[in-house]
Amino acid sequence: MLVPDSHAVAMIGVIRSLGRAGYPVHACAETPDALGFGSRYAARHAVCPPIGAPAFLSWMNGYVAEHGIRAIIPTERLLLAIRPEFETLAPLFPVGRDETRLYDGLAKFDQFRQLHEGGDAVVARHLPPMVLVASDEPLPPLEAFAALPTPLFVKVDKRHGRHDGAGSAVHVAQDAGDARRMVETLRADYDKLIVQGYVAGRGAAAVFLSWGGRTRAEFMNLCLHETPHTGGYCTLRESWRNEAMLAHARTCLRIIGWEGVSMLEYRWDDASGDFHLIEINPRFWASLHVALYAGMDLPRMLLDAFHGHAEDEAPGYRVGVRCRLAVPAEISYVVSCLRDAALPWPRRLWPVAEFFALFLDMRVKADLYFPGDRKLYWREWRRFLRGLSSDRRGAGTTDT
């Protein structure tokens, strides 16, 4: 089993899940210092050319043939890179075989257009305020952007890039005029893009394993800390369940028709209970470890289904399991609070105390301090502290 991007915490979770289940895991990454290479659950590791580079497909075909690889864990970048040889390589990926539906499922524009035009009033009510922009349609007027709450998020996908250098990205615009100018510029590089208005609330995820036309597993987590603290990467999470959000996510996934693993990202207002879908990510997500700790072994279940051994009944999971990525993500959360002058001092200082207090709470798990594979936790701490030391030495030198 080939696991790409083995530097990423999500893929480290995949390596651990598959390895402890007995799958022979080959970890690959573009750099030799990928943290996942050190996992005891990786049988082999290899440095690959940059995904999407001219040499990558040749390397992958050679590696698959030499090592008898029977499955490859998908990512957006990897699926886009194999498209020239889709018919040959697609059978190795645990995703749907409908090429058009597969690649439309990788692009935010196509996802939200399908949901917007699906005719489901409940789905529409929980979509974010947005403007869809296509190069073959007139540019929406300034008033359309002005109707969106600020800040605005201009999202582009490599799937609709006009050239190899046009990758996936999110650009932030502070007002409608800024957003429209940004769109005018980006239309030279992208055929389609989406502009979303700001939605307040906590981050939440609804995760699905779909195979053979059926939902094989469902999981949800709620973000308790994010970096920056105003909203972003989820650093402390809790396994969770919200029936209304889960029902909405099921309907969205049915409309899009994705097969494999997918994570639907929401913003949830805990005061009103309202929520809005922000993104659909057809891959394993960064908070995968909280699912593993809660008893939802999604990577193993995906590969089992792919090899014809899908579970008949969707398993449950423990709600209320907390898990965090202490370094560097939680540290970044703390720093973002300290630096925010808009916060009162007690609110700025509390995260510092909480950061250390959570180490004493044995109920809070750690992504990298995983049973049987805890050395990665200490390696990441060493890497972080060495980086701090290097930064301090650099700050102490000046050019004259």
Q: What is the mean pLDDT of the chain?
A: 95
The architecture (CATH level 2) of 98-108+121-126+200-368 comes to 2-Layer Sandwich (3.30)
Whether residue 92 contacts residue 70, with contact meaning beta carbons closer than 8 Å, is answered with yes
- Cα 57 from Cα 92, distance rounded (Å): 14
Residues 6+ apart with CB under 8 A from 308: none
What's the token pair of residue 21? Answer: 């289940």
- List 202's β-bridge partners, or say none: 268
- On the question of a common fold for 2-93 and 129-197, the answer reads no
Compute and round to an integer the Cα radius of gyration of the chain: 21
Considering only CA atoms, which of 297, 314, 324, 306 is closest in space to residue 20?
297
Fold of the domain built from segment(s) 2-93: Rossmann fold (3.40.50)
pLDDT for residue 397: 39
Instruction: Render pLDDT for 123-170 as a digit per residue (tens, 0 to 9).
Output: 999 999 999 999 999 999 999 999 999 999 999 999 999 998 999 999
Query: CA angle 199-277-52, nearest 5°?
Result: 105
Determine the 3-state secondary structure of 177 from DSSP.
helix
Chain centroid, CA 81 distance in Å = 18
pLDDT confidence bin for 73, thresholds 50/70/90? very high
> Does pLDDT of 303 surpass 80?
yes
pLDDT for residue 330: 98
Instruction: Render pLDDT for 93-115 as a digit per residue (tens, 0 to 9).
Output: 999 999 999 999 999 999 999 99
Q: What is the DSSP string of 316-377?
A: ---TT-EEE-IIIIIHHHHHHHHT-TTS-HHHHHHHHHHHHHHHH-TTEEESSS-TT-THHH
- Cα 131 from Cα 152, distance rounded (Å): 10
Tell the burial category of 212 from Cβ atoms under 10 Å away from its Cβ (0-12, 13-18, 19+). exposed
Fold of the domain built from segment(s) 129-197: Dna Ligase; domain 1 (3.30.1490)
- Cα 178 from Cα 159, distance rounded (Å): 24
What are the domain boundaries of the chain? 2-93, 98-108+121-126+200-368, 129-197
**Residue 48 phi/psi, 5° resolution?**
-110, 160
Buried b (16+ CB within 10 A) or exposed e, 36-47: bbbbebbbebee
- Cα 97 from Cα 181, distance rounded (Å): 38
- Cα 134 from Cα 154, distance rounded (Å): 13
> Does pLDDT of 47 surpass 90?
yes
- Cα 279 from Cα 156, distance rounded (Å): 12
